[in-house]
Structure 1
Amino acid sequence: MGKFNNKVVVITGGNSGIGYATAKEFKAQGASVLITGKREDALKKASDELGVQAKLTDQSNLQHIDELVVNVHGTLGKVDVLFINAGVAFFAPIDSTSEAQFDTMVNVNFKGAFFTLQKFLPILNDGASIVFLTSGNTALAMESSSVYSASKSAISHLAKIAAKELAPRQIRVNTVNPGPTETEMQSKFGMDEATLMGMKTQILSQVPLRKMGVAEDVAKMVAYLSDNTVASFITGGEFFIDGGMAL
Structure 2
Amino acid sequence: MSQTRPSRPHDYLFVNQGIGEFQTLEEVTEESWDRVFNVNAKGAFFTVQRLAPLMSEGGSIVFTTVSDDQIFPGLSAYSGVKEAVAAFAKVLAAELLPHEIRVNAIAPGFIITPTMGVAELTHEQRAEFIEQGNASTPMGRGGTVEEIAAAAWYLAVEATFTTGVELPVDGGFGQGIGE
Which range, TM-score by smaller chain?
0.7 to 0.9
Give 5+ residue unaligned stretches, structure 1: 9-79
The 8 Å contact of residues 207 and 244 in structure 1, kept in 2 or not, is answered as: yes
CA deviation after TM superposition for structure 1 residue 224, in Å: 1.2
Out of 26, 32, 45, which is 1:114 matched to? 45
Out of 134, 141, 164, which is 2:71 matched to? 141
Equivalent position of 1:94 in the other structure: 25
TM-score by length of 1: 0.64
| Matched-pair identity in % | 34
CA deviation after TM superposition for structure 1 residue 187, in Å: 7.1
CA deviation after TM superposition for structure 1 residue 150, in Å: 0.7
User: In the alignment, is residue 200 of structure 1 matched against residue 130 of structure 2?
Assistant: yes
After TM superposition, the structure 1 stretch with the greater mean CA deviation from structure 2, 189-198 or 149-158, is: 189-198
CA distance in 2, matches of 1:86, 1:158: 14
Q: Which has the higher contact order (CA 8 A, sep 6+)?
A: 2
Equivalent position of 2:4 in the other structure: none
Count of matched residue positions in the alignment of Structure 1 and Structure 2:
169
Larger relative strand fraction: 1
Deviation per CA, 1:119-176: give whole Å up to 9, x if none. 112211111100001122x432111111011111100011001111111122100001
Equivalent position of 1:125 in the other structure: 56
CA distance in 2, matches of 1:129, 1:184: 27
Larger relative helix fraction: 1
Deviation per CA, 1:83-103: give whole Å up to 9, x if none. 111221212212112322211
CA deviation after TM superposition for structure 1 residue 7, in Å: 4.2
CA distance in 1, matches of 2:115, 2:105: 19
Out of 161, 166, 179, which is 2:96 matched to? 166
Q: Which runs of 4+ in 1 moved over 3 A?
A: 5-8
The 8 Å contact of residues 91 and 189 in structure 1, kept in 2 or not, is answered as: no
Equivalent position of 1:235 in the other structure: 163
Counterpart code for 1:233 = F
